[in-house]
Amino acid sequence: MNHKQAQEEREHTAARQEQDHGDDEQETAGERQQNQIVETGSITGTKGKHVIHCLTIIGQIEGHFILPAQNKTTKYEHVIPQLVAIEQDPDIEGLVIILNTVGGDVEAGLAIAELIAGMKKPTVSLVLGGGHSIGVPLAVSAKYSLIAPSATMTIHPVRMNGLVLGVPQTLSYFDKMQERIVRFVTDNSNITPERFRELMMQTGEMVMDVGTVLDGEAAVKEGLIDELGGLSRVIEKLYELIEEKQANPDEDKAQQTEGGDAT
């Protein structure tokens, strides 16, 4: 083998090694995304127009008590650190929340909803399948909310499982907890407190319960959800909010200044 052939062989080997290294990096990135989905039920999309994070809230909201293994759950101790990380990550520009939940722990659900509502980053929620019970505050906690036409939302009074003391203090506790939910929902949507309570106490619609089941169109008509739509509209709306925020950076600075003056 002459010098020229040896040089060509070395170049070919180097090129092959570089390609293999690139394939390994790509595979590693793919594996990281897959692990993120499996472990947290979320993923950060980096190949679109903007970098957005998708968070899913499904099944039952698990709070202070561990639910049976066969239950599909969203654990609030997993979601809360994710929301903190998303808010402070400069690379993530917006958040999509996908909801298909039957409800669950009231205080855990409200804790997640309050964190989402308090984020400065653009947030858009989408209700798929169902956004029942404490899923209602979670749905309205985003800066803009959408619901699929086939999805439903159940509004009903606060309920409690297990031993309950039949004393006036228990009813007072239920009433205060219910008012927290009413206040949060009406502060973060276009429905009035009076109408929300009316839907909550509706009789004759559900066989074994008090309350109302709203489909997608009815939820929008009542002012609970902003718009009917699907995934493409969610992404489109989130991009709009991101670009509005980028076009008006002074608003964030003004909010920060006001917050500093208040303290």
Catalytic residues: 133, 156
95, β-bridge pairs: 53, 123
> Are 153 and 219 spatial neighbours (Cβ–Cβ below 8 Å)?
yes
**Could you give the CA distance from residue 96 to residue 182 in angstroms, rounded to a whole number?**
24
3-class SS at 162? coil
Measured CA angle at 38 (ends 37, 44), to 5 deg: 15
| Cβ neighbours, 10 Å, residue 114 | 13
What length is written for the chain? 263
> Are 119 and 92 spatial neighbours (Cβ–Cβ below 8 Å)?
no
3-class SS at 126? strand
